[in-house]
Amino acid sequence: MRRILIVGAGQAGLQLALGLQAKGYDVTVMANRSAEEIRTGRVMSTQMMFRTALRYERELGLNFWEGLAPRVEGLGVSVAGTAPGVPGVQRPVDWTGRLDGPAQSVDQRVKMAGWLDAFAERGGRVVVHSATVSDLDFLAPRYDLVVVAAGKGEIVSLFGRDPARSPYTAPQRCLALVYVHGLGPHEGHPAGEAARWSLVPGVGELWVIPALTTSGRADILFWEGVPGGPVDAFTGAFGPREHLALTLELLERFVPWEYGRATAVEPTDAGAALAGRYTPVVRDPVGRLPSGGLVLGAGDAVVVNDPLTGQGANCAAKCATSYLASILERGEEPFDAEWMRTAFERYWASARHATRWTNAMLAPQQPHVRALIGAAAGVQPVADRIANGFDDPSDFDDYFFDAARAESYVARAAAAGREA
């Protein structure tokens, strides 16, 4: 029986651990907190899992909350702007794309605590310890493979930045989120319950995501602000109520259509808010320890996308699925550096599309992208296709990045709609 150590108890690490455990591998998970500490701690992220990532969880029998989390059947996009002679912020673009399969968001405090408990109950070893490089140097010879799926801390230094795949060297957004109860309904969904994405040029973006949290049904209000702009204000020791108060001020100022349904909201709990920023990066997947041993990076340890396009948890799930297949196919052969790079490149063949699209959306929008998003308001197939690109970003390669292709696609879609 092959012995594998997985460092990190997030989406990628635990999904991979549970998948390997189900196949009979001897798996140890090293987590920096216990399940109970995760469950009762501060929120760790936003997340919205789309159809493909949810299918991967379902195939492993890990969809514990599928019947409890809100079914997100649509994805709404609004663009803020002004109109001559009309006071205040307007919404010149507003549409909702229908998803081919429902998405869902489960607070990672709920999911990761539940998965960690399940792993232990099924006989897996859990070591609660914040791993250091020296720890891994000591432990690596005792395992056939060490996978580092932790995106923070000293051990991330094992994986060098890949400059060819990392166009940014500084954070492109400041992030501020709060989980709330009491958000009112959004009027006019043609697609049932939907997540909402509001784009405010020059200021940032707001996500509103229906979610399941520790206290039940909730919504996430998540600002992505341009550094140095008006949303870059979540500094200091903000408690959830102070964080929410500032969030609401920004909603009223920049996205009044969302503020109107948020006047009675309250934080879900004492750990409901989080703020921070990080630099998008792709790293070399092979880490070399001081003694010469090798470790394989996974999830956020090697591919970090800004959460602007909601790809983080989805990419982590896809990474775990890809690595699981690579490990199973390896059989009894050694997990050497060549295999590690091959395993990563297999995953990167999918992940590169999410990274390319996210990095493009972080930059000032090109005219053809603005035109494409605007056209979706009048051509439902375009809205639906953009919405489903959140599940499969590779589809954007066909039409999103090139002005001529985008214009041609919209013209074809509009003509087909007129003929239908």
pLDDT (0 to 100) of residue 291? 95
Element (H, E) at 179: strand 174-181
Start-end ranges of CATH 3.50.50.60 in the chain? 3-63+107-168+280-361
| Average pLDDT rounded to a whole number, residues 242-268 | 96
**299: region left, alpha or beta (phi > 0 left; psi from -120 to 50 alpha):** left
- DSSP-derived letter for residue 64 is T
pLDDT (0 to 100) of residue 85? 62
pLDDT > 80? residue 84:
no
φ, ψ dihedrals at 342, nearest 5° = -65, -40
**How remote is the C-alpha of 372 from its chain's centroid?**
24
pLDDT (0 to 100) of residue 416? 83
| Average pLDDT rounded to a whole number, residues 181-202 | 83
- Single-letter residue type at 280: P
CB 101 within 8 A of CB 51: yes
For the question of whether the overall pTM of this predicted structure is more than 0.75, the answer is yes
Start-end ranges of CATH 3.30.9.40 in the chain? 72-103+173-276
pLDDT (0 to 100) of residue 358? 98
Assigned token pair, 229: 């702009």
Assigned token pair, 226: 């341009």
| Average pLDDT rounded to a whole number, residues 285-289 | 98
Better pLDDT: 225 or 88: 225
The model's pLDDT over 356-383, given as tens digits with 9 standing for 90+, comes to 999 999 999 999 999 999 999 999 999 9
Label residue 190 by pLDDT band (50, 70, 90).
Answer: very low
3-state class of 398 per DSSP?
helix
Assigned token pair, 157: 């230094």
| Average pLDDT rounded to a whole number, residues 246-266 | 96
- In the chain, the percentage of residues whose pLDDT exceeds 90 is 92
- Name which of 45-54, 198-207, 263-272, 408-417 the model is least confident about: 408-417
pLDDT (0 to 100) of residue 151? 87
pLDDT (0 to 100) of residue 88? 75
CB 67 within 8 A of CB 80: no
pLDDT > 70? residue 419:
no
| Average pLDDT rounded to a whole number, residues 394-410 | 97
The model's pLDDT over 133-155, given as tens digits with 9 standing for 90+, comes to 999 999 999 999 999 999 888 99
- In the chain, the percentage of residues whose pLDDT exceeds 70 is 97
Strand locations in 38-150 (E): 72-83, 86-103, 125-128, 145-148
- Name which of 161-170, 233-242, 282-291, 319-328 the model is least confident about: 233-242
pLDDT > 80? residue 413:
yes
pLDDT > 90? residue 418:
no
Domain 3-63+107-168+280-361 has CATH 3.40.50.720: no
Q: What are the residues whose beta carbons fall under 8 Å from the beta carbon of 356, sequence distance 6 or more?
A: 393, 396, 397, 401
pLDDT (0 to 100) of residue 258? 96
pLDDT (0 to 100) of residue 191? 45
Label residue 65 by pLDDT band (50, 70, 90).
Answer: very high
pLDDT (0 to 100) of residue 82? 75
Domain 72-103+173-276: which topology?
D-Amino Acid Oxidase; Chain A, domain 2 (3.30.9)
Pairing of strands 281-282, 303-304: antiparallel
Label residue 237 by pLDDT band (50, 70, 90).
Answer: low
| Averaged confidence pLDDT in the chain | 95
pLDDT > 60? residue 189:
no
Q: How many CB atoms lie within 10 A of CB 51?
A: 17
